[in-house]
């Protein structure tokens, strides 16, 4: 075991050359770097418009991934949850009118994306339209 001065006074640095392991300050900094990178990737995974009115009773919500590691279907599911919450906050039910998904290949800026167009309707009106076969 050899001792080398580290960047921090009093912090021992050990190097086990037989296994290629580094412990001490540099090992800690490597872990911190990996964790910060993972957090940055997780929080920077998508850009969304939020709910935007298209006209007086139709809304749209759009989201695009910043990488190709998440599929359009996962983005669509998240948008459906957001749209459902938006309508529920208004005391109404979600009625999806159109779904647009971006397809592969996911490279050179063509990242997964989805758009959901929807209306917020009274739950009674939604049940009536389904019963009569209208949508």
Q: List, for residues 73-129, the tens digit of each pLDDT value.
A: 899 999 999 999 999 999 999 999 999 998 777 677 788 899 999 999 987 766 655
In the three-class reduction of DSSP (H, G, I as helix; E, B as strand; rest coil), residue 14 is classed as strand
Looking at the structure, give the CATH architecture of the domain made up of residues 46-131: 2-Layer Sandwich (3.30)
Residue 43 pLDDT > 50: no
Question: Residue 113 and residue 99: Cα distance in Å, rounded?
Answer: 11
Contact assessment for residue 113 and residue 75, using Cβ atoms and an 8 Å cutoff: yes
86 burial type by CB count under 10 A (0-12 exposed, 13-18 middle, 19+ buried): middle
Comparing CA positions, the residue from 83, 74, 77 lying closest to residue 49 is: 83
pLDDT at 108: 76
Question: Residue 107 and residue 68: Cα distance in Å, rounded?
Answer: 7
Least confident of 28-37, 66-75, 96-105: 28-37
State the chain's mean pLDDT as an integer.
75
| Residue for token pair 């076969």 | 133
pTM over 0.75: no
> Where in the chain is CATH 3.30.1360?
46-131
Residue 69 confidence class, pLDDT cut points 50, 70, 90: confident
Residues with Cβ within 8 Å of residue 65, at least 6 apart in sequence: 45, 46, 75, 111, 112, 113
């Amino acid at each position: 075991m050899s001792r080398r001065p580290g960047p921090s006074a009093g912090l021992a640095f050990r190097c086990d050359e037989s296994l290629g392991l580094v412990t001490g300050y540099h090992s800690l900094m490597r872990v911190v770097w990996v964790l910060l990178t993972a957090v940055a990737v997780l929080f920077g995974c998508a850009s969304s418009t939020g709910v935007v009115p298209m006209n007086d009773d139709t809304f749209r919500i759009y989201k695009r991934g910043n990488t190709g590691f998440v599929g359009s279907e996962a983005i669509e599911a998240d948008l459906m949850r957001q749209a459902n919450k938006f309508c529920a906050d208004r005391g109404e039910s979600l009625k999806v009118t159109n779904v647009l998904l971006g397809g592969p290949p996911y490279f050179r800026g063509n990242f997964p994306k989805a758009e959901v167009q929807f209306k917020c309707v009274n739950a009674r009106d939604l049940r009536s339209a389904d019963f009569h076969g209208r949508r």
